[in-house]
Amino acid sequence: MKAGAMVTLYGFYTDESGNNGFGDMRNQPVLCYAGILVPIHYQVFLHNEVQKLKDNLEKDIKSKIHGIPTEQFSNIDFFKKFEIHGKAFIDGEDFYYNLPDLERFKVVDDLLSLVQVTDVKIVAALVNKHLYQANTGVTNHNRMHIHAYTELVKCISTELKQSDSHAFVICDDGKPSEINNFCDALRNPTNNRVYPDLQVKLSHDKNCNLIQLADMINFITSVHFRNVYGFPPRKRHQTNIIDFYLRHLDHKIIKWEYK
């Protein structure tokens, strides 16, 4: 342990991008598992700051929608549980389209600014899918996912070892296979610092804001490395997304790459 390092407990809030295996490598050539490693003492503050941005954003969107009576917003799924989803938000999909690009991009800058404090770490595992399949001959994508998850856990463990600290993981409650693959990686005998949260769905509801922040980071990171690995650019906002990465994430990210 480094002299002066403080032992603490962290939460690792994570999401994924490009997790469709080998099914659509033209549109999703990069697998990205990324998240934010947040010390317990900072989690409530970070959650509340994200909530403030979300509340203001929801009000702004509603104020620009015409033809829908105010009392009807509560009946629309988009507003029943208002969330910020990285790709859809940046691309202006769904009701997000009511905000012009500059306003949405300002929100992205504000969100990413929240993780600039020293105590918050960004950790990612990235896989160039084409290269992985060419080198390994693997057709079962679960092996690739477990490999990436295992390396992600190793990155987290290496960071935690510096202060003899530990972390629990809260991941998006998406595909059951994703959660199972992550649990397989966490059961790796070399891992003794990172533990699964045993109430994933309850925790997802309680900690949804931090998972949404991880989702934004995931999407931006995956697009950046899509460019780094030489794949064709996506059709929308490629330059803006790479700029987000370079300004907010490049200097902070702790990463493993299969490249």
Q: What is the CATH number of the domain that holds 37?
A: 3.30.420.10
Question: Which DSSP state fits 128?
Answer: E
Does 68 fall in a domain?
yes
Sequence-separated (6 or more) residues with CB below 8 Å from residue 145 = 19, 21, 31, 177, 178, 181
Q: Is residue 247 part of a domain?
A: yes
Grouping H, G, I as helix, E, B as strand and the rest as coil, residue 134 is helix
Number of domains in the chain: 1
Query: Quick one: pLDDT at residue 83?
Result: 93
Q: What is the pTM of this model?
A: 0.91
Average pLDDT in the chain: 89
Q: Is the dihedral of CA 67, 72, 74, 80 positive or negative?
A: negative
Distance in angstroms (rounded) separating the CA atoms of residues 96 and 115: 23
Please tell me the predicted confidence (pLDDT) of residue 176: 61
**Is residue 182, in this structure, part of any structural domain at all?**
yes
Domain assignment present for residue 1? The answer is no
List, for the chain, all residue ranges whose pLDDT scores fall below the cut of 70: 1-6, 173-177, 198-207
**Residue 4 domain-assigned?**
no
Domain span at 243: 9-258
Residue 151 lies in a domain: yes
Residue 26 is predicted with a pLDDT of 87
Pick from 103, 117, 109, 55: which is nearest to 82 by CA? 55
Residue 189: predicted pLDDT: 79
CB hemisphere CA count around 163 (13 angstroms): 15
**217: in domain:** yes
Does residue 172 fall inside a structural domain? yes
Rg of the chain on CA atoms, in Å: 19
